[in-house]
A and B are shown apart, each in its own frame.
Chain A
Amino acid sequence: MMSGSSGRQRRGVTLAVLACAIAFPFLASGYHLYQGAQVLILAIALLGLNLLTGFNGQISLGHGAFFAIGGYGAAILTEKFGVAYWAAIPIASLVCFGAGFLFGFPALRFGGLYLALATFALAVATPQILSYKGFDAWTGGSQGVLLAKPHAPFGLLTADQWIYLVCLFCAAVLYWAARNLATGRIGRALIAIRDQPIAAETMGVNAALYKTTCFGVSALYAGVAGGLSAIAVGFVSPESFGLSLSLSFLVGIVVGGLASLGGVLFGALFIEFVPNLADQLSVNFGESAKALPGAIYGLLLILIMAAMPTGVAGALRFAARLAAAPGARSS
């Protein structure tokens, strides 16, 4: 797959990022810690979506729905059934796996843009279903559900530090699993299905099973992210799982780099910080500029995609190649 030296390089970078991420909660505090946890949560959701869209070529505009199932699942299990958060998140994620796997079957019938539309419908329907009166007893209707913050064991850390570290642990494990999948036989089969579905099948790849399972795994990642988010925020409500969430996931994997697992970190940083940055920039233009944050965000997005058409990961790979072979022509 890759030469030994670039494999070592990758491992070095991964360890360095991990070291920084572990040190972070002891250097930062308060809101920054919360933002750090958000970045990790988004990165988890992006990992899952990238497996589905980047590797397997199935577009989803509706991953907010699975994020919502994870979030509401964790909230309902902890608050209504008294399940501990560390058990509630895995249970909710398995439910997401099931939901994603089942959604994968109709997805087999739709290709490309049609699948995009079907998942778009899912994203549009989610907040409405969540605020449906009949489910009030569990979902709290449009009020949502409040969650108690988990405490750090032994009281050595603050609750915020603890939540951040739980997110980091999940992100690290899920990154490891995604990398195992992506670089092995399964990842090759997923890409083969994306590139040449018929040839893949004649090589013995069970395309239908791989696509539905990939949908399930991808939904599981979104579910873990949703569950962690519910606990980190301490609150779930229908408005947090709307269309814009689903779209931001897609933005994240494209900005980070399709079919790049490391790239999801950049994608997550982008969706966490660039909207705020756009807000701050627009303040300079005074009160009258109400629509400006959106315009600035859009402009930044276009500029980034123009500068890095294969995402941040693609740009970094390109830079690394230039650095490794100065003067060499790129083909």
Chain B
Amino acid sequence: MFMELAEAKAGTADQSVDPHVSALLAVEGVTMRFGGVTALEDVSFVVAKGAICGLIGPNGAGKTTLFNCISRLYVPHAGAIRFDGNPLASFARHEIASLGIARTFQNVALFATMTTRDNVRVGAHALARGGFLSSALAFPLAGREELRVAERADALIEEFGLNGVADRPAGELPFGVRKRVELARALAIRPKLLLLDEPAAGLNHEEVDALGAEIRAIRDRRGVAILLVEHHMNLVMRVSDQVVALDFGRVIANGSPEAVRANPDVVRAYLGSAG
């Protein structure tokens, strides 16, 4: 296992660092099957603290499945995922957020009837503790927490330029704006790891460029590690420190953007899927 990790790490931006010290996320031999389909097969790689790791692969390669395993929506048939050294298998779905993992969804999963502001506030849910009783009876604790959550949400709404739509129901917003709301919502808990599932889908060229700059800015400002699933190859190669390529559920390349782009298996996988 140790060898495997060291191998997986080889070729990343800073090889000098021991993966066990700097690894934030360690995916270790994860296998996930749906009936006869093997969506992930013995997938291993690590993501360092504060790194941007691109996760690429043709349609059906298993990228979203891996996100769902990290979110504990799926339970892998084999292997383990460690976050900050803790095996995620020992946490329930709803505990993942307070560990510091946040995500967006490939098909945008906003709370459609709620306003933008309330969506972002739900993102900060795990920052507060109060239950039904303290909320119903307006205990001072609930008021203080509510204030903190509100401030947090307002800051993110400001930062992402969502002031104009803050009080509009999220379901009424155009697709591009919904994606921004989802990003703001994901950042509300101050995650250590942010999972972005195709954030550039449906954006035009300029918007994709802007998004690239934004992703880097998010990382630089907050030090959050980002696992980025994208089909826009230019975007991934430009912003990532490390790129992992999946094909039919298997890791076919893992290394610097340049190395992965030049990898013959990667080239073949993409040509194959294009043809």
Contact = CB atoms under 8 A, between A and B. Distances in A.
Contacts of B73: 198, 202
A192 B146 contact: no
B132 A196 contact: no
A180 B138 contact: yes
A195 B111 contact: yes
A291 B113 CA distance: 41
B222 interface: no
Interface in B159-201: 167, 172, 185, 189
Contact of A188 (B71, B95, B103, B118): B118
Interface stretch (B36-44, B51-59, B121-129, B266-274): B121-129
Interface stretch (A111-119, A122-130, A203-211): A203-211
Nearest to A177: B136
B110 interface: yes
A200 B122 contact: yes
Interface residues of B, number: 42
Interface string A159-197: 000000000000000000110110011111101100110
B111 A205 contact: no
A213 B132 CA distance: 8
A204 B97 contact: yes
Contact of A184 (B71, B135, B167, B185): B135
B131 interface: yes
A325 to B, nearest CB: 14
B113 A191 contact: yes
Interface residues of A, number: 31
Contacts of B20: none
Contact of A201 (B93, B149, B167): B93
Given A185-B145, A186-B131, A204-B125, A192 B136 contact: no
Contacts of B167: 2-3
A195 B135 contact: no
A186 B136 CA distance: 9
B130 interface: yes
A201 B94 contact: yes
A3 B122 CA distance: 19
Interface in B104-163: 105, 109-115, 117-118, 121-123, 125-126, 128, 130-132, 135-138, 142, 145-146, 149
B133 to A, nearest CB: 10
Contacts of B122: 188-189, 192, 200, 203, 205
